[in-house]
Amino acid sequence: QITVGVLALQGGVIEHISLLQKAAAQLSSRSSTPTPQFSFIQVRTAAQLSQCDALIIPGGESTTMAIVARRLGLLDPLREFVKVQHKPTWGTCAGLVMLASAASATKQGGQELIGGLDVKVLRNRYGTQLQSFVGDLRLPFLEEGEPFRGVFIRAPVVEEIITTAGDDEVTKLKGKQVEVMGTYPKPQGTGEGEDIVAVRQGNVFGTSFHPELTDDVRIHTWWLKQVVEGLKSGGRDVQAQS
């Protein structure tokens, strides 16, 4: 049995759980060999977190989430989960902000983060709630098919990949560099090229957008598969096994 938690302090919790259930059903119906049983739980305490093999940090509001996590004594257990135990963790939107090692300064000043991804994020890159949009994404890690409908709500983007390892270290840490998993064209008037909207580094995965607000189960299915494969080969490191 594999236990996957969704951090349930604030934000889109139920939506993730419902898509995870669909993804698990799809995995078992598609596989010729028996797939593990999953249990999906809401995580509000360190004890619940310790039951989890993998975790999703949902969208919401990252400053609020950090304040609540601090109050409940969850920030350090979360950092341990992601950065010491190296358990598979996926953050969507505010969850991506929480998993970044730095977030660009906000009016209120800094905010507490969990870290795990050596990136700096730019919060609210596309503006306010009113500037929310849905955009088609080509995500090379998904099987061929329709573009993925990316739901962007006060979304952050990765504005900088912070290189923490020198060449030797990179070799030692092979597979631990930040990988760009998805991009989206910069809005007009905000520069040339593409914004980074999905990244992975070892066990940590982050998306700017909200797959849980669509009925497209592909990213959840892909991620659960990574979780299963990582656990099967005895490691916690999702990327190293793929």
Question: Which chain residues interact with ligand GLN by CB under 6 A?
Answer: 59-62, 93-94, 97, 123-124, 153-154, 156
Residue 105: how many other CB atoms lie within 10 Å: 10
* Residue 150, strand partner residues: 135
Cα separation, 232 vs 229, whole angstroms = 5
Q: Give the nearer residue to ligand GLN in terms of CB position, either 126 or 222.
A: 126
44 Cβ contact partners less than 8 Å away, ≥ 6 residues apart: 8, 9, 72, 74
Q: Is 212 one of the annotated active-site residues of the chain? A: yes
Annotated binding-site positions for L-glutamine: 60-62, 123, 153-154
CB of 95 to ligand GLN, least distance (A): 7
Amino acid at 13: V
| Known catalytic residue at 52 | no
Buried b or exposed e, range 52-62, using 16+ CB within 10 angstroms: bbbbbbbbbbb
Extract the annotated binding site.
60-62, 123, 153-154
Q: Give whichever of 35 and 208 is closer to ligand GLN, judged by the CB atom.
A: 208
Rounded Cα distance between 76 and 152, Å, is: 29
Nearer to ligand GLN, 61 or 229 (CB): 61
Query: CB of 208: closest distance to ligand GLN in angstroms?
Result: 9
- Whichever of 61 and 179 has its CB closer to ligand GLN, that residue is 61
Tell the smallest beta-carbon distance from residue 197 to ligand GLN (Å).
13
Q: Residue 16 catalytic?
A: no
Residue of 16, 86, 93, 220 marked catalytic: 93
- Minimum CB distance to ligand GLN, residue 112 (Å): 12
At 192, list the tokens: 């040339």
Q: Identify the active-site residue in 15, 52, 86, 212.
A: 212
Residues acting as catalytic residues: 93, 210, 212
